A and B are shown apart, each in its own frame.
Chain A
Amino acid sequence: MNNRIRFLQGNEACVEAALYAGLDFFAGYPITPSSEIAELLARRLPEKGGKFIQMEDEIASMCAIIGASLTGLKSMTATSGPGFSLKQEAIGYAIMTEVPCVIVNVQRGGPSTGLPTGVSQGDVMQTRWGTHGDHAIVTLTASNHQDLFAITVEAFNIAETYRTPVILLFDEIIGHMREKLILPEPGDIPLVERLRTSVKEGTDYHPYLPREDGRLPMSDFGGVHRYNVTGLVHDMWGFPSDNPKIAYGLMRHLVDKIEGHVHEMTYLKEYYMDDADCILISYGSSARSALHLVENRRARGERMGLLELQTLWPFPVNAVRERCEQAKHVLVVEMNMGQVMQEVKKALGEPDKVFLANSLDGIFITPTDIQNILRLIQGKGV
């Protein structure tokens, strides 16, 4: 047991988890605060015969992992805000072509270059709508290294199951904070391997014809089935088409395969929620301050609970609504201008009971910050 205990950064925990999940290919470009992921994988991947490449830019890194995934390798890239912006077109390509891959975004502050070493959770909406056109996406996050490990493995599992890019949205505190991680034993967390076609050589293979369950078995590039992959609207052979029926069917398929499985992709944690009349909703590192406050107030007899979201997209509308129905106040704790708060308001349908405790200055939100907002809500003054 002892030799499975680590004391490490979140970025390092992410690497351990990705390797546990079967990562074979990483392409990246240096950027704060995610560079440790690339640095560590530059050692670890060649050790296991995997592939690591530092590309010429962020765009190229995203493109390279898509190419690698098409040959059958589990692939990942890691970046932060400015780099995440640059990757958006290729993320859309991975959505359209249904290529499994994982993109880590360790968030930093501000638009543009912003606060490279400051903490923020300002990219929540960018993970949802960063690439152009209607689409669905999966975004996962975590507030501690043990959860980060599990959710990273889950990101690979979802990517393979649904043939989709999955965004791991961490933040600077989670990425750089050191804490204990107990490495799971092999087999502790189930791994999803790629579903490959059973169609034999010489038989017409339809790479983009979903099975009844919506899944599309793949064939590796370099294998016996030669097919076309394109970012254009395409038919079941992967050939470009502007047939309205095909366009409609493809759009529905791409969105429904995610939005129709919200329940299977919903990861959340509940603390003291049973009788809570004041509920904090948070995620990532800010959930740590929220939990600290909740435990303090509980000790004083206040009926306060925390709903920690690990799935941000598809947003778990029903799960959030059900859990907040009885609450008098819902306070969303996040380090942005209310990106998840807006979703909570929509989900609850009672916008007047939803409030925001936030920070925008690159400094970690503290329990006291949240407490001050709470006093205002509860009419106690500051």
Chain B
Amino acid sequence: MAVKDYIRQRFMPHIWCPGCGHGIVMSNLIRAIENLRLKKNDIVMVTGIGCSSRISGYLDFHTLHTIHGRALAFATGVKLSRPDLTLIVPMGDGDALAIGGNHFIHAARRNIDITAIIMNNNIYGMTGGQFSPLSGYGKIATTAPFGNIDEAFDIVQLAQAAGASFVARTTTYHVTSMIKILEEAIEHKGFSVVEILSQCPTYFGSKNKMGDAVDILNYFKAQTTSIGSKKKKENPELIERGVFIKKVRPEYCDEYEKVVKKAQKAKGS
């Protein structure tokens, strides 16, 4: 299928600002799904609230645009009801890790077979540029005019500690590897987390004097490196990209099926 066959033309134009990274993520997600030969009827996309969450409306899957922070809780209800369906949950950094932080760690702990994509642009864009739990110390935002005193989460470490069985990071600059990582994440059985550094030139970029969209993409190129690379050893400040963890761990819906068998056996005896 062509990329356009995954897009709901009726929904266009989209709301994303010129230069926003979210369109790059959407385009690559479509390519990953196309490469995996998944059927559109078998995909349920659940999102919360925020710029990134609008992605669900644009794509021609079963789409559930929910309330702020709770996408993973809705997705858990869908997945447990229909384990045969492929669940993809794109979220923003605020949606996933501030208001939705609790659902994020518990979905990871259950290792339920859902792919969580965190489009991390370090800011609340839809509401006009307030700092998020991923903005970082010293950054400027409309609610941190004197510099942010909140430290940022490390999504990769958080997801691993909470029990996610697939954890990866990439950026909107690294398009080819993003497609591969998304494919791997969707194929992986268990809770998969993909953090994608995405640019917000409108708010985070402009407030923090990072230049335009191209400048931020170049920043992603310069400030990130492959996991365990020589560059990382030379400059520990660099952010690592790639697949951090990919392991086999009992998946929640599979475990639930065992409960059903036990319950039915106990009832029969």
Where the two chains meet, the residues of A that have a C-beta atom closer than 8 Å to any C-beta of B are: 24-25, 27, 43, 46-47, 49, 51, 53, 55-57, 59-61, 63-73, 75, 89-90, 93, 221-224, 226-232, 237, 239-240
Give the shortest distance, in Å, between B99 (CB) and chain A (any CB). 10
Q: Once the chains are docked, how many angstroms separate the CA of A285 from the CA of B262?
A: 38
Cross-chain contact B81 with A60 (CB below 8 angstroms): no
Chain A residue contacts of B238, Cβ below 8 A: none
Chain B residue contacts of A65, Cβ below 8 A: 77
Cross-chain contact A226 with B260 (CB below 8 angstroms): no
Cross-chain contact B57 with A228 (CB below 8 angstroms): yes
Cross-chain contact B102 with A221 (CB below 8 angstroms): no
Chain B residue contacts of A72, Cβ below 8 A: 81
Q: Once the chains are docked, how many angstroms separate the CA of A229 from the CA of B75?
A: 13
User: Any chain A CB within 8 A of the CB of B231?
Assistant: no
Stretch at the interface among B18-26, B41-49, B163-171, B176-184: B41-49
Check A93/B81 contact, CB under 8 A, given A221-B44, A226-B41.
Answer: no
Find the residue from B40, B57, B61 having the highest chain A CB count within 10 A: B57
Q: Once the chains are docked, how many angstroms separate the CA of A43 from the CA of B11?
A: 44
Cross-chain contact A237 with B73 (CB below 8 angstroms): no
Least CB separation from B47: chain A residue: A230
Cross-chain contact A70 with B73 (CB below 8 angstroms): no
User: Any chain A CB within 8 A of the CB of B36?
Assistant: no
Cross-chain contact B260 with A46 (CB below 8 angstroms): yes
Give the shortest distance, in Å, between B64 (CB) and chain A (any CB). 5
**CB < 8 Å neighbour of A231 from B46, B65, B76:** B65
User: Any chain A CB within 8 A of the CB of B139?
Assistant: no
Q: Other than the known A46-B260, A231-B65, what 16 A-B pairs have Cβ atoms closer than 8 Å?
A: A60-B73, A60-B103, A60-B106, A64-B80, A67-B75, A67-B77, A67-B78, A71-B85, A73-B81, A89-B67, A90-B70, A222-B82, A228-B8, A228-B56, A228-B65, A229-B65
Cross-chain contact B102 with A56 (CB below 8 angstroms): yes
Cross-chain contact A25 with B106 (CB below 8 angstroms): no
The residues in B between 239 and 260 inclusive whose CB is less than 8 angstroms from any CB of A are 256, 259-260
Q: Once the chains are docked, how many angstroms separate the CA of A25 from the CA of B76?
A: 12
Name the 9 nearest CB pairs between A and B, nearest first. A67-B77, A64-B77, A46-B263, A63-B73, A60-B73, A56-B106, A230-B65, A67-B74, A67-B78
Could you name 22 residue pairs across A and B whose Cβ atoms are closer than 8 Å?
A46-B263, A56-B102, A63-B66, A63-B76, A64-B73, A64-B74, A66-B77, A69-B77, A71-B82, A72-B81, A73-B81, A75-B77, A221-B62, A222-B44, A223-B41, A226-B40, A226-B61, A226-B62, A227-B63, A231-B66, A239-B10, A239-B11
Give the shortest distance, in Å, between A198 (CB) and chain B (any CB). 18
Chain B residue contacts of A53, Cβ below 8 A: 76-77, 80, 256
Chain B residue contacts of A90, Cβ below 8 A: 67, 70
Q: Once the chains are docked, how many angstroms separate the CA of A67 from the CA of B75?
A: 6
Check A221/B78 contact, CB under 8 A, given A51-B256, A60-B103.
Answer: yes
Check A227/B62 contact, CB under 8 A, given A47-B267, A222-B41.
Answer: yes
Give the shortest distance, in Å, between A281 (CB) and chain B (any CB). 37
Cross-chain contact A221 with B85 (CB below 8 angstroms): yes
Cross-chain contact A67 with B267 (CB below 8 angstroms): no
Find the residue from A49, A60, A237 having the highest chain B CB count within 10 A: A60
Least CB separation from A230: chain B residue: B65
Least CB separation from A69: chain B residue: B77
Cross-chain contact B65 with A51 (CB below 8 angstroms): no
Least CB separation from A73: chain B residue: B81
Cross-chain contact B85 with A231 (CB below 8 angstroms): no
Least CB separation from B70: chain A residue: A63
Least CB separation from B58: chain A residue: A228
Chain B residue contacts of A60, Cβ below 8 A: 70, 73, 76, 102-103, 106
Chain B residue contacts of A27, Cβ below 8 A: 77
Least CB separation from A90: chain B residue: B67
**CB < 8 Å neighbour of A222 from B42, B73, B264:** B42
Cross-chain contact B78 with A71 (CB below 8 angstroms): yes
Cross-chain contact A237 with B10 (CB below 8 angstroms): yes
Chain B residue contacts of A232, Cβ below 8 A: 65
Chain B residue contacts of A239, Cβ below 8 A: 8, 10-11, 57
User: Any chain A CB within 8 A of the CB of B187?
Assistant: no
* Chain B 50-72 interface mask (CB, 8 Å, partner A; 1/0): 00000011001111111100100
Q: Once the chains are docked, how many angstroms separate the CA of A224 from the CA of B61?
A: 10
